[in-house]
Amino acid sequence: MICLCFFLVSCSLFSFLILSSYNVSAADSVIDNVSLSIQVSCTLSSTLNSAHTDIVSNGTYKEDIGSTTLTVTCNDNEGFAIYAAGYTGNEVGGTNSTKLVASSGTDTIDTGLLLNGNSSQWAMKLTTDSNATYPITLASDTNGSFGSYHVIPSAYTKVASRNGITDMGLNAIGATLTTTYRAYASPEQPAGTYNGKVIYTLVHPATEIPLHEETTEAGKICYYPNGGMVLGSMGCQTITASTTNATLLASNFSRDGYGFAGWSTTYDYSDSEGFYGPQEYIEFPAGTYTGQNNGLSLYAHWIKSAGNLQDWTGCPFLQEGAVTALTDQRDNETYAVAKLADGNCWMIENLRLENTAGHNGDGALAQGYGTSITYGNFSGLAAPEALWGIDDTTANSLYSIDGSNNTINIGNSIAGYRFPRYNNMNTPTASSDRPQNPTSNSATNSTTNAGMYSYGNYYTWAAAIADTVHYADGSDHGTTSICPTGWRLPISNQSVTDRSFGALSVALGGPEGGAIADSSSNPTGVVMSSRFRSYPNNFVYSGDVSSSGSGSGRGSYSGYWSSTATTSPNLAYDFGLSSTSVNPSHNYYKSYGRSIRCLFSGS
């Protein structure tokens, strides 16, 4: 080592002399960066040590009936969790999932802690290997720890977890669990062979939960969050024997880091045809969902973020109808994105950008939004609408409604009413123009159980174009918007060659401009409002907010701002969607709060 060191030093001096003689400057240096990415990989395997089969005499119990070792190998820095549930056939949970069922007849042995000697019961126990490379912690609940005999869970229940992973080493044993069972047979238990199952599922990171099929509820369309760390709650729609159609409910679920792409008829999205928009209109024969176990279970279709909206270049590579998800760097909200029938890429969720108190005139809607090319397209919000002779109390508003139906403007902050899609944190007060508690079991879609998250935020046109210039000439439109960098507001009342609502309407079989009623014929015979609400277009009846701060129309109509003004100083074009018609060149008051869908501009 000493000789080598001296050799390197002398080489360095020699090199210096050569560099000097050839007058090579330090600017000619090259730094070669190397980056290595290691993918997350987690697996759960099992080794049957001894079969879970035994004989038990009436009035006695057996402990440690067989054993299986479960081994986890996982390098997810955010840890992992193991869930367990009784499992019958292909169903997790349900009436018989926690029972040992007789091979012949209807006799069963219920799960239990064997504290009651009058009834037959069985239970499970888990033990860990303290010598494992990264031992895990057994979970506990109201029935005690899974380290002692425990009732079989009737639904997926966390039984063990590790919140973080350290270096596994080259020959890692991993984390191990050993499962055993015990059973008690009462003196009256009928003779026979009884069988049951427990399914163990590995999920990661530790905050995740397993996806699974839900038990359908006869006569209902029910909505399930379908994932870990999902906020919000929803109920079911009641379907009668004579019902032949339904408008699905808009989603009230949100999940950090995921875009909501609509509803799926399967929890694992395995049915490629079974996707619906959040408020799609569906038809079915009378009585379809009213027989026993014939209800319809719909699962939130989540797509994990694949990158940022601001630096995305993937639109040319998406096939028509393909859906991905991207995150807005301004506030870390993630949106589902799809290439629609017009060949353009759209955000298929309503914009949810919020305000930050103290910024009413400088365009800084939140920390770091400002004029940065990295984050947003705008240079500042428009001057108050009073310049147009309009009441300036709603100038530059991003609308939300507090418990008293008051408007929250940029620069204002009301404690308890966070600005976004949630009104009063998912528990809105009852009012004729606002949805009731979304856990109610009503099929009414106009004011009850209409969902909230999918409706996003509401913006005046001044906030939507996010510019200091007011366009009063219908031939012109704003070139900036509140959309992320690389995205823009659609154009209205323009040629279909433009990126516009009209172009999308034509691609879906509707008019380029002007209203078309659902009852009228169109080139494809499609009911247009239903087509716009279908997957993956996903337009919803988000309603609006008047200049006085009164919200209305959720579940029955919506307006989506374009960047185009009319010749009237009070009006701007939007896309009008109602339960009876669509209108790509609708116009409305600039002072109203309406929804926004951003369109990929490619620059």
Annotate 417-473 with DSSP letters as a single string. Answer: --SSS-STTT-PPPBTTB---TTS-----SSSS--SGGG--EE-HHHHHT-S-----
Beta-carbon contacts of residue 99 (< 8 Å; ≥ 6 apart): 86, 88, 108, 109, 110, 111, 196
Question: Which among 140, 171, 203 is the end of a domain?
Answer: 203
Query: Which pLDDT does position 518 carry in this prediction?
Result: 62
Number of structural domains (the chain) is: 3
DSSP run (H or E) holding 17: helix 2-21
Looking at the structure, do residues 92 and 173 belong to the same domain, yes or no? yes
pLDDT at residue 338 tops 50:
yes
The sheet with strand 296-304 has its strands ordered as 236-238, 220-224, 296-304, 258-264, 275-276
Residue of 191 and 354 predicted with greater confidence: 191
Q: Are residues 298 and 367 in the same domain?
A: no
Residue 33 — very low, low, confident or very high, per pLDDT cuts 50/70/90? confident
Query: Is 540 found in the same domain as 475?
Result: yes
Q: Name the least confident of 49-58, 127-136, 224-233, 583-592.
A: 127-136
Mean pLDDT over each residue of the chain, to the nearest integer = 75
What pLDDT does residue 409 have?
37
pLDDT band at 526 (very low <50, low <70, confident <90, very high): low
Most confident of 11-20, 213-222, 366-375: 213-222
- 498 within some domain: yes
User: pLDDT value at position 395?
Assistant: 34
In a domain, 35, yes or no: no
79: in domain: yes
Q: What is the pLDDT of residue 466?
A: 66
pLDDT interval class at 69 (50, 70, 90): very high
From 279, 304, 329, the end of a domain falls on: 304
**Does residue 253 lie within any of the structural domains?**
yes
Domain membership of residue 603 (yes or no) is yes
Q: Are residues 417 and 563 in the same domain?
A: yes
Q: What is the pLDDT of residue 547?
A: 64
Domain match, 553 and 410 both? yes
Q: Are strands 220-224 and 296-304 parallel, antiparallel or unpaired?
A: parallel
Has residue 6 been placed in a domain?
A: no
Contacts of 424 (CB under 8 A, 6+ apart): 402, 403, 416, 417
In the structure, what pLDDT confidence band is assigned to residue 445 with cuts at 50, 70 and 90?
very low
> Between these two residues, 337 and 509, which has the higher pLDDT value?
337
Residue ranges with strand state E in 163-257? 175-185, 194-195, 198-203, 220-224, 230-231, 236-238, 245-247, 254-255
Q: Which structure tokens are listed for 370?
A: 């400002």
Tokens 């869970």 belong to which residue?
Answer: 153
* pLDDT at res. 49: 95
**Residue 46 belongs to some domain of the structure:** yes
What CA–CA distance (Å, rounded) separates 250 from 558?
13
Q: Could you list the residue range(s) of the whole structural domain that residue 503 is in?
A: 352-421+456-603
Q: Give the least confident one: 30-39, 233-242, 272-281, 402-411.
A: 402-411
CATH number for the domain spanning 55: value is: 2.60.40
**Amino acid 461: pLDDT:** 79
Q: Residue range 27-56: average pLDDT?
A: 86
Calculate what percentage of the chain has a pLDDT beyond 90. Answer: 33
Asked if residue 236 and residue 187 are part of one domain, the reply reads: no
3-state secondary structure of 44: strand
- 229-262 pLDDT, tens digit per residue, is 888 888 888 899 999 999 999 998 889 999 999 9
The span from the CA of 7 to the CA of 11, in Å, is 6
pLDDT per residue over 300-331, tens digit each?
Answer: 999 999 999 988 999 999 999 999 999 988 77
Same domain, 391 and 536: yes
In the block, tokens 């270096």 appear at: 167
Three-state secondary-structure class, residue 157: strand
* More confident position, 386 or 563: 563
Q: How confident is the model at residue 160 (pLDDT cuts 50, 70, 90)?
A: very high
Q: Do 194 and 233 have their domain in common?
A: no
Between 266 and 116, name the one with better pLDDT: 266
- pLDDT score recorded for residue 144: 86
> Could you tell me if 281 and 357 lie in one domain?
no
260 and 192 in a common domain: no
Clarify whether residues 184 and 244 are in a common domain.
no
pTM > 0.85: yes or no: no
pLDDT(19) > 70: no
More confident residue, 554 or 12: 554
Q: How far is CA 489 from CA 124, 409, 496, 537, 566, in A?
A: 57, 21, 15, 16, 15
Q: What is the pLDDT of residues 382-440, one digit of tens each?
A: 333 333 333 333 333 444 433 333 333 333 333 322 223 323 223 333 332 233 333 33
Residue where a domain stops, chosen among 203, 232, 248: 203
- SS3 state of residue 504: helix
| Within-domain flag for 468 | yes
Pair 380, 482 in one domain:
yes
What pLDDT does 403 receive?
35
Has residue 152 got a pLDDT over 70? Answer: yes
